Structure 1
């Protein structure tokens, strides 16, 4: 409760990134598109009737977050261990911003807490609430399925998962339910299609073109597309192909979208064929992006991990900078310069905890799998390198480690499970010192 009050006081009424400014505008108007999750905008529109601005959404995501932490801590023998990952400065600062990543993390934490209390008893009310929160989380990010599926399977009754066949059936059914959550939510809210999935296609086509030296874009009215793409391509993010940057690339989102439409050609089939024709160039592009996205072999930190203030917006919503917020912000920036802010270390820790918790009942394994799958998914499902994308990966991996310690996992297994994280942290430190 103390942590929740301090965190809310520091960031009241909530920081609004550019994404949140756009989402709030759609929540006010009621005209949704699917560039950002319309399910979140639909909820926000309901909250506006209570209180305009970011404050109600900040309360919602913080309420889910801290409720989940409290439920998990109360289930452990040493609750203070479980609270520690939630106090990560980056998490506190990111939770102060109204973001789909923060709301998703809150929903996932609350679901994990409810699932931990459901146990093996027939507490179907808790199970149903946990499942509903996981389905809601799946409407907030297209790749949230990877994070939610292990927790969804774990919250089902143990008898349903007793054999391998039953476990496979539960996994398949859960995967289908989570996969259709976002499309159904988008349809139910009447959201217009924006073509947001094209961002991944365009970024990968740009990467393959850059590393193969061959133009793999559809035929475009652009002279020397390989040279033009070379000037535009950035392995860290796709934004240069978008319309919101200062100097948009001539090979831009609208041009490529319209070209595919004019040719009556599926961009996704075209994309897969380009990857199949140049697999090594695609692999190099993806590995270079993952290196930046996961903060691995870098000579410098290329962007601020958290934002200290709202983006300019027509409603004038800003936070009042205060000593507590400045302290949280400073701690977040400083700790993100260490392995605590490198997603690669948390993914490695999650993989290690999968080994350490193998065969051990409880929430350690589903949390570790959730972190590993979600964080690892950014190897192929990413177009930008914002650290906020890894909020859940960091939290779930940290919680998995805390529960492994709390549940009495054998010390040698904990040590072995921690070695991957230690190893990549040392390599990352060496890279920063040498570069």
Structure 2
């Protein structure tokens, strides 16, 4: 062996022993896992919604705000850079596994345990997380954007005081992810509030009222500016899609005769009145308990996304006039839909690419068929766990996890405050569906499932690290730290002395 090879060998062995090489090993593992998952999902599984947004992203259909224009715009930009629509699914996979690598690296630095850091990476292989990783859905975008902000906040919290520029760069990046999350799923805005607090607390561990107000003002301004920028870039057709919620309530709470009377009282046109009555009759006859606008409401062909835009005011007026009179029926109906979402979530696996009846699959998608062998392997993996461990795919379980995270008094390791806010984000997101859930669908609780899984993984690693330290095991040595930093006196407790930004 030459002298150069010997020096390289000695250097690598030393880097392995002192831990400086392990984060790069984690990065290699995360990259390999991400590549494998991306291969399974290539070129990306599309629903009818994402197929529509692909048409919009490619400029073959006008953008509308029935689905988030920011997602169509982001897809358009990515396609413009790469020339391939499959880049969106690849970016989703890369974002998830990149975020898990950041969290695994933080766990490694805290515990010095290679096994525990690998356990955090394993979250990406969990069946209730992997099932949607390559499905191009706004729910997936929301979940991964919020998780990225969580990882950024933890990273900022760990930076030394003198890394001011890095702190600000990461905080700006976190703010951009948070803004995207607020724009990509409007009913996800409540979930962004606790995650926004994570960013603020990462910058200033004990912010005063003025800093809170200033930070909130900046966040609101960035969201409004982002929304205006997306609108200017895409010029979306207005649909006022929020009107589907009162339509759902009206046709399920009122009888057909009551719907007719309510429509006439509110000044609805004969066409709207007749369609609402027909929807109430159809839902009643076919025992359809939710999603009345898409399942029961007579639709024109092709589907007119602007129909409600021209009639939303009348529909809302009907709702405000009738629901106070039928408050008991409204409460019962919403309780029925919400409990079904919590206890009977369907669609735990999205099996490929589908479009609505009468719609067309984009030609670009036809040119890149899915790998059926890998698709069926993934389906067997996910549905097997859904059969044996059904709670992983049910909203009640992740609601319970979020409640435990929010209410537990005992510290959950070094990230107790952060995990409590993560649980609050999940809790608010689930509760936001109480008055708005259109149907029972697992993707509606995908963010709470992801957040809860990551939280449980971090709590478990902290617990194992404490046990090993108490037993004087191999992981009782101080956590791995960059050169020049002194070891923390109490790595297991939440850090309250982090330097503020600036």
Q: Within the alignment, does 1:3 sit opposite 2:33 as a pair?
A: yes
With over 3 angstroms needed to count, the CA separation of the structure-2 counterparts of 1:396 and 1:328, relative to structure 1, is: same
Task: Choose 17-26 or 374-383, whichever is displaced more.
Answer: 374-383
- 1:97: Cα distance to partner? 1.3
Query: Given the alignment of the two structures, is residue 306 of structure 1 paired with residue 349 of structure 2, yes or no?
Result: yes
Matched, 1:199 2:244: yes
**Which range is displaced more, 84-93 or 265-274?**
265-274
Cα distance in 1 for residues equivalent to 2:354 and 2:454: 32
Residue 396 of structure 1 pairs with residue 451 of structure 2: yes
Query: Structure 1 pair 293/17, CA: closer, same or farther in 2 (3 Å)?
Result: same
Q: 1:173–1:230: structure 2 CA closer, same or farther, 3 Å change rule?
A: farther
Aligned-partner SS, 1:277: coil
Q: Give 1:107 shift.
A: 1.7
- For residue 148 of structure 2, the aligned residue among 75, 96, 110 is 110
Please say if residues 353 and 368 of structure 1, whose CA atoms lie closer than 8 Å, have aligned partners that are also in contact: yes
Aligned residues: 399
For the 8 Å contact 1:127–1:155, the answer to whether it is kept is: yes
**Residue 272 of structure 1 pairs with residue 320 of structure 2:** yes
Q: Which residue of 1 aligns with 2:138?
A: 100
Corresponding position: 1:26 with 2:77: no
- Judge conservation of contact 2:238–2:309 (CA < 8 Å) in 1: no
**Alpha-carbon deviation of 1:384?**
2.8
Label 1:216 to 1:305 Cα distance change in 2 as closer, same or farther (>3 A). Answer: farther
Aligned to 2:423: 368
Aligned to 1:71: 102
Structural mapping, 1:120-131, within 5 Å: 121=159, 122=164, 123-131=167-175
Instruction: Tell me by how many angstroms 1:323 deviates.
Output: 3.5
C-alpha change, 1:253 and 1:62, in structure 2 (3 Å) is closer
Distance in 2 of aligned mates of 1:393 and 1:75? 22
Structure 1 unmatched runs, 5+? 412-435
The alignment partner of 1:284 has SS state of helix
Render the CA deviation track for 1:43-85: whole Å, top value 9, x for unaligned: 1112222344531111111111111111112212332343344
| RMSD of aligned Cα (Å) | 3.5
Alignment of 1:153-164 (within 5 A): 153-157=197-201, 160=204, 162=206
Q: For residues 159 and 20 of structure 1, do their structure 2 counterparts lie closer, same or farther at Cα, with a shift above 3 Å needed?
A: closer
Contact 1:26–1:41 (CA<8 Å) still a contact in 2?
yes
CA distance in 2 between counterparts of 1:285 and 1:59 reads 40
CA shift for structure 1 position 292: 2.0
What is residue 432 of structure 1 aligned with on the other side? none
Cα offsets for 1:356-405 (capped at 9, x unmatched): 26776623112111111112211122223222222111001121222233
SS at match of 1:50: helix
Larger radius of gyration: 2
Q: TM-score, normalised by structure 2?
A: 0.70
Question: Tell me, what secondary structure is at the counterpart of 1:15?
Answer: coil
Match of 2:178 among 122, 134, 138: 134
Give the corresponding residue for 1:418. Answer: none
TM-aligned CA deviation for residue 259 of structure 1: 4.8
2:404 alignment partner in structure 1: 352
Contact 2:245 2:438 in 1 (8 A): yes
**TM-score normalised to the size of structure 1?**
0.80
Please state whether the residue corresponding to 2:440 is helix, strand or coil.
Answer: coil
Alignment pair present for 1:229 and 2:280: yes
Q: Deviations over 1:173-200 (max 9, x none)?
A: 4774586477435523321211211111
Could you tell me how far apart the structure 2 residues matched to 1:402 and 1:59 are?
Answer: 25
C-alpha distance in structure 2 between counterparts of 1:380 and 1:358, whole Å:
33
CA distance in 1, matches of 2:441, 2:318: 27
Partner Cα distance (2:405, 2:216) in 1 = 24
Residue aligning to 1:335: 385
- List gaps (5 residues or longer) in structure 2: 1-29, 356-360, 467-502
CA distance 1:311–1:368, change in 2 (3 Å) = same
Kept in 1, the 8 Å contact 2:275–2:297? The answer is: no
**How far off its partner does 1:227 sit?**
7.9
CA drift of 1:11 comes to: 1.1
Partners of 1:108 and 1:257 lie apart in 2 by 30
CA distance in 2, matches of 1:225, 1:101: 29
